[in-house]
């Protein structure tokens, strides 16, 4: 997830406008490697959602990875059981 956060931050780092493209390339490669290894966690879901939401507008549909990242995040969240309804109530700490 660190690479995704750094990628989003690099998008707004004005002194080096080329930094975002470089970071996005690394973050995309790391996301693909993580998925190919079969790793699943909430932090990976969050990282994919960051890349989907803060993705740079693409010149063509072939270059746009928004749906790829969003789809990976949704599929992984489903596999982690994040779609199941949780019926337990949150308990408030006692007031003192």
pLDDT along the chain (96 residues), means of 10: 83 88 86 84 88 77 80 89 70 71
b/e string for 65-75 if b means 16 or more Cβ within 10 A? Answer: bbebbbebbbe
What per-residue confidence (pLDDT) applies to 11? 83
What per-residue confidence (pLDDT) applies to 86? 62
Does pTM surpass 0.75?
no
Question: What pLDDT digit, counting tens, does each position of 53-70 carry?
Answer: 877 777 777 777 788 888
What per-residue confidence (pLDDT) applies to 90? 66
What per-residue confidence (pLDDT) applies to 30? 85
Instruction: Give residue 13's Cα distance to chain centre.
Output: 20
**DSSP per-residue codes, the chain:** -HHHHHHHHHHT-TT-TTHHHHHHHHHHHHHHHHHHHT---HHHHHHHHHHHHTPPPPSSGGG--HHHHHHHHHHHHHHTTTTSPP-PPPPPPPP-
């Amino acid at each position: 997830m660190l690479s995704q956060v750094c990628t989003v931050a690099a998008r707004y780092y004005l002194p080096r406008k080329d930094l975002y493209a470089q970071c996005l390339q690394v973050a995309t490669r790391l996301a693909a490697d993580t998925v190919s290894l079969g790793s699943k966690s909430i932090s990976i879901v969050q990282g994919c959602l960051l890349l989907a939401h803060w993705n740079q507008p693409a010149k063509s549909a072939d270059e746009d990875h928004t749906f790829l990242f969003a789809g990976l995040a949704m599929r992984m969240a489903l596999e982690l059981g994040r779609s199941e309804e949780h019926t337990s109530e949150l308990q408030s700490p006692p007031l003192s």
